[in-house]
Chains A and B, each alone.
Chain A
Amino acid sequence: MEERKAIVEIKNVNKIFGENHVVHDLDLTIYKGEFLTMLGPSGCGKTTILRMIGGFEEPTGGQILVEGERVEDKEPFERNVNTVFQSYALFPHMNIWNNVAYGLKMKKVKKEEISRQVAEMLQLVRLNGFEKRYPSQLSGGQKQRVAIARALINRPKVLLLDEPLGALDLKLRKEMQLELKNLQKKLGITFVYVTHDQEEALTMSDRIAVMNQGYLDQLDTPERVYEKPATKFVADFIGESNIFEATISHMTGDTASIGLEVGNALCLLEKGVSYSLSEMVYACVRPEKVLFSAGEAEGFNIKGVVKEQIYVGNIIKSNIIIANGQMVILSRLDIDEVPKVGEAVNIYWNPDDVVLMKSRGYQIHHVIENASLGGD
């Protein structure tokens, strides 16, 4: 694989609005030609980051480089970057042709050249024939495509998209997801995409940056983000997770026995991460990886009762209540065997299927260890 070339570099960027610290010490490199998604709940700072790259907000501290050049003080149009706005922001007093041509007109491109490029762009987003219409006469999906054409005609190196599909209904959103992804592949332009929809992020992205309260929690491929969430927040936010608080009670080789509130379980220790005995951790198991049996499995003793079952299309979700009242979700395809409602089961899992995450609780452990507890 050829070496990836950085196109946007965000170095130690902070953003503070009044008393709100919205983005904390962010370091992020975006590579040429990739589809990077900023994912997080509302208020996590993802849109602010996008707006800082686009030039609509100035970072409180740190540097932003586009193609190796610092851009913090540059106007939005002096950066080789264009934005597709959440509300599309199509100019309501201009027809589609004029909307798409706007960028080239501002750059004083020759008339014939503008006509040629607008036609090409409308062809690209499959809207030829709509030139004379006004934005108010278009459907949501069509407006979306005009907004993309209007941005792409400027040949940006990076296209920033701020929740572009948020206003569309589910079916259209799915179609547009594919369309956007294909467009990005075809043009080879770097897309930076902001969304709070984890499914959207998993489907479209080359890499996902998961944001949590202004911090970058994890930056990885969709598979890795799903399979190996770096923090409890990521595990919780992306897909469904069963998260258990636990302490490490034994370690033999790369396997550890952990003590949950309600019993014991086994898990695999991540290579390259050092754990100590009685350290507090979070163990995260995806619902489809939870196993059940009538008797106890080797190394496990977590008991529970199946409280209810929910049918979601071809998947059956069983909610199992364990002794401390925590709900454990177990999901199976409807052709697989599932426990019956009211049945008492033992829960276990394959030790490789657990993701172990350090808990902030370990800090308490240090505090207690280092505190002198009176006496001499």
Chain B
Amino acid sequence: MKRSYRARNKTIPLLTTVSPVAIWLILLVAAPLLYVLFLSFLSTDGYNVVFLFTLDNYKNLFNPTYLEIYANSFLIAFFTTAICILVGYPFAYHMARAGKRKKTVMMVMLMVPFWTNSLIRLNGWKTLLGKTGFVNTFLQNLGIIREPVEILYTRGAVLLGMVYILIPYMILPLFASIDKLDHSFLEASNDLGANKVKTFLHVTLPLTFAGIFSGSIMIFIPSLGYFFVSDIMGGGKSQLIGNLIETQFKAGNNWPFGASLSMMLIFLILIMVTVYKKSGGDMEDLGVM
């Protein structure tokens, strides 16, 4: 008797506190994901989704036409991630070692553009990089080039846009792991005969590897999917997986295939996170955002 009384007494408050979060998660996370999963097994008659179970959408993923798009996507994603590490690490390191005031200033500098709509920011780049844009005009006036060069609508421009949009996702986890690094490790290394370079290679880098890895996950996956970057900066010339998915849901009107492409991306994320966890990564480092 006593036990059931106590159990009831706890269940109701627990339900009332947890249910808003649970409902939110079910409605906005679980339900759409399940719907996409469900969709990916259905067929299409060319216009509408037909309730007919099929695995063709998954077979279709390996169609040779798409392999080039995958390759192109992975190339862009790889270089985006690499550049983000190379640019982001020094920035994050500097920020972690800076004084309180400087740290705040750097954080604000990082976050303010982040809060602005990324489409607007990317269109801003267009005015800089276009044929009549600032860079071309400037170079022409200096006499370095005679004719405007094509900067925009190249793979390089897409890469630039990706790095520009995604770099905070690299800097923040890196900052968290460098900031957490106990300064006495560096002093100990220095004491035991390692100069700054050796200390960085043997101590700082291995101990902040979790930050690099979690930053890479958070950049690699979105850069496969950010179709609008390739649309704006690449002029639709270079197709990415993201563009492919967008096409299936809009122009192509093939929702089930779009859904199976999305499932492939989700599956990739799961693999990467699992590898990260298996290699001893801290899941909390992934949640810095």
Contact = CB atoms under 8 A, between A and B. Distances in A.
Interface string A76-110: 11000011011101011100000000110011000
B185 A106 contact: no
Interface in B186-233: 187-195, 198, 202-203, 206-207
B206 A55 contact: no
A94 to B, nearest CB: 8
A117 interface: no
A75 B194 CA distance: 10
Contacts of A76: 187, 190-191
Given A92-B207, A93-B206, A102-B189, A77 B184 contact: no
Given A92-B207, A93-B206, A93-B207, A107 B193 contact: yes
Contacts of A54: 191
B190 A75 contact: yes
B45 interface: no
A154 interface: yes
Max chain A Cβ within 10 angstroms of own Cβ: one of B188, B192, B195 = B192
B184 A87 contact: yes
A89 B206 contact: no
A46 interface: no
B284 interface: no
Contacts of B206: 93
B74 to A, nearest CB: 30
Interface residues of A, number: 22
B207 to A, nearest CB: 6
Contact of A77 (B192, B202, B203, B207): B192
Interface string A45-77: 000000000111000000000000000000111
B182 A87 contact: yes
Contacts of A89: 182, 184-185, 187-188
A150 interface: yes
Contacts of A55: 190-191
Interface string A254-298: 000000000000000000000000000000000000000000000
A154 B207 contact: no
A140 B185 CA distance: 17
B3 to A, nearest CB: 40
Nearest to A93: B206
A305 B164 CA distance: 80
A92 B206 CA distance: 10
Contacts of B207: 91-93
B187 A85 contact: yes
Nearest to B194: A106
Nearest to A108: B193
Contact of A154 (B185, B187, B193, B198): B193
Contacts of A83: 187-188, 191
Contacts of A102: 189, 192-194, 202
Contacts of A154: 192-193
Given A83-B188, A85-B187, A85-B188, A91 B203 contact: yes
Max chain A Cβ within 10 angstroms of own Cβ: one of B187, B193, B206 = B193
Contacts of B198: 106
A75 B198 CA distance: 14
Contacts of A106: 192-194, 198
A91 B207 CA distance: 9
A103 B193 contact: yes
Contacts of B191: 54-56, 76-77, 82-83, 151
Given A85-B184, A93-B207, A75 B195 contact: yes
B187 A77 contact: no
Contacts of A82: 191-192
Contacts of B194: 77, 102, 106
Contacts of A93: 206-207
Contacts of A86: 184
Contacts of B188: 83, 85, 89, 91, 150
B182 A150 contact: no
Nearest to A79: B191
A324 B195 CA distance: 62
B199 to A, nearest CB: 9
Contacts of A75: 190, 195
A56 B190 CA distance: 9
Given A92-B207, A93-B206, A93-B207, A103 B192 contact: yes
A92 B204 CA distance: 11
Interface in A98-142: 102-103, 106-107
Contacts of A103: 192-193
Max chain B Cβ within 10 angstroms of own Cβ: one of A54, A77, A83, A151 = A77
A75 B199 CA distance: 13
A92 B210 CA distance: 13
A234 B53 CA distance: 87
A19 to B, nearest CB: 16
Interface in B157-189: 182, 184-185, 187-189
Q: 9 shortest A-B CB distances, which residue pairs?
A: A106-B193, A103-B192, A89-B184, A89-B188, A77-B193, A76-B191, A106-B194, A93-B206, A76-B190
27 contacts: A54-B191, A55-B190, A56-B187, A56-B190, A56-B191, A76-B190, A76-B191, A77-B193, A82-B191, A83-B187, A83-B188, A83-B191, A86-B184, A87-B182, A89-B182, A91-B185, A91-B188, A91-B203, A91-B207, A92-B207, A93-B207, A102-B193, A102-B194, A103-B193, A106-B194, A106-B198, A107-B193
Given A75-B190, A89-B184, 7 more contacts: A55-B191, A75-B195, A82-B191, A82-B192, A83-B187, A83-B191, A85-B188
